[in-house]
Chain A
């Protein structure tokens, strides 16, 4: 079974530039998550989709971050303009059910962002 696919794996941009990350979840998984993980910390949920609807985006900095999941499959996460503190790994994950209840969350390899 193919896992969660993410791209690009690594990105270096200057502050105030924009960047976009792409994610393709495991086939059939209805729930898709974007997490931000800063070095030395646990993953922090940015946004959770159930099919193509947003379930939770309470921790998404909406002035600069946006995400969409058109057609309920692939998703993109965009940052515009980027700040130095956005340097982190952006993990996409998916699960078969909302909140992963009765299942678990599967992560992609992550997109490593460095803002200079």
Chain B
């Protein structure tokens, strides 16, 4: 099993649609989780952190399920500008035998007019 896996995509959705991405991680000792956004030929940029209680930022909602070891990102009312690749990122507990920051392979989203 890969350390971090994401929905393979690509996701092609119409404007205004709601879309959800899932990410699973293999190490239960992982500590922090983030969603990054990467536009075509650009560097990854932080979209939002993922907290156990769930968190929302405008049209974006992130959820963490530690028991099942998965993270989700929900985008409501999709805009054309949301078209990008979304990367799930898992941060470890430092000083453990598993201390690398791991990026998922990314899920590509295209929002269509």
- Tell me the A residues contacting B by CB distance below 8 Å: 33, 35, 41-45, 48, 55-56, 58, 91, 97-102, 104-110
Q: Is there contact, CB below 8 Å, between B101 and A45? A: yes
- Interface size classification for chain B: 20 to 34
Q: Is there contact, CB below 8 Å, between B45 and A107? A: yes
Question: Which B residues, 58 to 108, have Cβ-Cβ distances below 8 Å to chain A?
Answer: 87, 89, 91-94, 99-106
Q: Within the assembled complex, what's the spacing in Å between the Cα atoms of A101 and B94?
A: 8
Instruction: Please give the distance in Å from B68's CB to the nearest CB on chain A.
Output: 21
Instruction: Please give the distance in Å from B71's CB to the nearest CB on chain A.
Output: 14
Q: Is there contact, CB below 8 Å, between A42 and B104? A: yes
Q: Is there contact, CB below 8 Å, between A99 and B101? A: yes
Q: Is there contact, CB below 8 Å, between B42 and A105? A: no
Q: Is there contact, CB below 8 Å, between A45 and B105? A: no
Q: Please report the number of residue pairs spanning A and B whose Cβ atoms sit closer than 8 angstroms.
A: 59
Residue B21 at the A interface, CB < 8 A? no
Q: Is there contact, CB below 8 Å, between B92 and A99? A: yes
Instruction: Please give the distance in Å from B39's CB to the nearest CB on chain A.
Output: 11
Residues of B within 8 A of A106 (CB): 46
Instruction: Please give the distance in Å from B91's CB to the nearest CB on chain A.
Output: 5
Q: Within the assembled complex, what's the spacing in Å between the Cα atoms of A56 and B103?
A: 15
Q: Is there contact, CB below 8 Å, between A110 and B101? A: no
**Nearest-neighbor residue (CB-CB) of A104 within chain B:** B46
CB-CB under 8 A for A41 and B43, given A100-B101, A105-B101: no
Residues of A within 8 A of B22 (CB): none
Q: Is there contact, CB below 8 Å, between A99 and B43? A: no
Q: Is there contact, CB below 8 Å, between B94 and A42? A: no
Instruction: Please give the distance in Å from A104's CB to the nearest CB on chain B.
Output: 5
Instruction: Please give the distance in Å from B20's CB to the nearest CB on chain A.
Output: 19
Besides the contacts A55-B99, A101-B91, A101-B94, what 10 more A-B pairs have beta carbons closer than 8 Å? A41-B106, A42-B104, A43-B103, A45-B102, A48-B100, A99-B101, A100-B32, A104-B49, A105-B89, A107-B44
CB-CB under 8 A for A108 and B43, given A42-B105, A43-B103, A56-B100: yes
**Nearest-neighbor residue (CB-CB) of A97 within chain B:** B94
Q: Is there contact, CB below 8 Å, between B94 and A99? A: yes
